Amino acid sequence: MRQMPPSDPSAAPPFPRSRVLLVSHNFPPTIGPESSLVRLNTIDLVRRGWDVTVLTTTTTHMHQKMDGKSLEGLPAGLCVMRTPSWEAVFRNRFPRIGSLTLSALMKVLPEIFLAWALSAVPAGLRWLNLYGPAVIYSRATKHVSNLAGLFLKRKTGLPWVAHFSDPWLGYPMNPIQIWLGRQIEKRIFNEADAVVTVSHQLATHFAELYPLSASKIVVIPHGYEPMMDSKPAEQPLNTGRALTVLHAGSFMPGLREPLALFMGLAKLSERTPLHGRIMVTLVGDDTRRYQDMADECGVSDIVELRDSLPFHECQQRIATSDLLLVIDTPGFDGVFLPTKLIEYLAHRKPVIGITERGSAVHDVLQECGLSFADIQDPKSIADAFENMLALWADGELDSARPNRESADNYAIENVNRKLDDLLLTLSSKLTDKA
């Protein structure tokens, strides 16, 4: 474990607020939406005056790539403790036996990363013993983060906020995994002082599962970092070139896939030729596996599939695209709020959201005046793209940009006011633990 000292008050403005121990398996330099969100929230909390220490993993991971540039811009003097995630260590040290063992465990454990708690909890306790009480703030989608927060809460009695971007049981699991996951999740809700979710749909989902903990649930959506230049990029003139469309985000095989998009584009191609008029690029993990699907739908000439990109490169692709696309996960009561949709708002570009009515994505689209397409209806998707092509041909695509005032509501400095208030309330309990 590599441990940095707490922030030096002599090297920065004094911290008017208390300490926060932010526990997250996801943190730079790992690539991924949750890593980007934790990075952004860390920066925002430090700006607000919180003395933040991050407890995370080393750069040895099983399923995540690295991007050293994501470390740039973190607050000077930020204390970051890195401890091993033992499933990755075991696999790397014993490649053959490790892969076989972990493959078997993945059929039993609700999350293979749970082994990180074995190193994270002792490290967190040592830090708390050395530097005094702090508000514990754990973040999932790697749910081991909240499990580590649970053990730290039990050992110390300190105030604890557990954050859920997604429900734990959103992925297909066997009955053993579902039972184990539910037991852990229930204990997290029972023992946390507050639980943060990112949408009212997700809050309702959890309140129905754990009614005795419903009063603890606080809705704080994802936020975005405003761009240095708040003015949107100038829309290039349509000189006969194709409309460029970008979907930036990973798919989840069997859950979130691009079939609805491909079927909608195929439906539109029956009305009008699309070759040379539109190019749709999909960037993210598991994207290339859908090439056969694009071929079968007859849209491979207007669809480009690419692997994931480092965060800064992905942001550049967003900035230079004409139209942005988000594809939701159907069949889960609309609880998911993709990070990319909120990140798109910072660029103030037109967006098509392929989702269900009443979903968290649909709510954001409606609030910001963005285009909706029904994920269950290829005709609705075809209509949405046909409308954008017409605006593009007439030089009127700017009219489809998000409403600025509504989009500004999702800027991190606005979104996290509620988190700041929550942490202030809980930090008042630290005097009893000092």
Question: Residue 313 maps to which CATH number?
Answer: 3.40.50.2000
Please tell me whether residues 50 and 198 are part of one structural domain: yes
**237 within some domain:** no
Residues 395 and 424 placed together within one structural domain of the fold? no
Query: Does 225 map to a domain?
Result: no
- Residues 195, 301 share a domain: no
Q: Which domain holds residue 89?
A: 9-220+416-432
Query: Looking at the domain assignment, is residue 235 inside a domain?
Result: no
Residue 4 maps to a domain? no
Structural domain includes residue 226: no
Residues 175 and 310 in one domain: no
pLDDT classification of 9: cutoffs 50, 70, 90 = very low
Q: Could you tell me if 258 and 183 lie in one domain?
A: no
Instruction: Tell me: do 289 and 401 sit in the same domain.
Output: yes
What is the per-residue pLDDT for 172? 65
Are residues 296 and 322 both part of a single domain? yes
In a domain, 368, yes or no: yes
Tally of structural domains, the chain: 2
Task: Check the CA dihedral 310-313-315-318 and report its sign.
Answer: negative
pLDDT winner (highest mean) among 101-105, 239-243, 280-284: 280-284
Residue 15 pLDDT grade (very low, low, confident, very high; cuts 50, 70, 90): low
Same domain? 91 vs 185:
yes
Tell which wins on pLDDT, 377 or 256: 377
71 located within any domain = yes
Cα dist. 94→87, 91, 100, 213 in Å?
A: 11, 5, 10, 42
Residues 210 and 310 grouped into a single domain: no
CA atoms of 159 and 109, how far apart (whole Å)? 28
Least confident of 55-69, 247-261, 292-306: 55-69
- Give me the mean pLDDT over the 415-433 stretch: 89
pTM for the predicted model, two decimal places: 0.89
Does 353 share its domain with 427? no
The pLDDT confidence band at residue 376, using thresholds 50, 70 and 90, is very high
pLDDT computed for residue 101 by the predictor: 82
Asked if the model's pLDDT at residue 92 lies above 80, the reply is no
**What's the pLDDT score for residue 228?**
67
Query: Are residues 155 and 274 part of one domain?
Result: no
252 contacts: CB under 8 Å, gap ≥ 6: 171, 286, 329
Domain annotation covers residue 231: no
- Residue of 15, 229, 25 whose CA lies nearest to 115: 25
- Position of tokens 């003139």? 237
pLDDT surpasses 90 at 190: yes
Q: Are residues 51 and 85 in the same domain?
A: yes
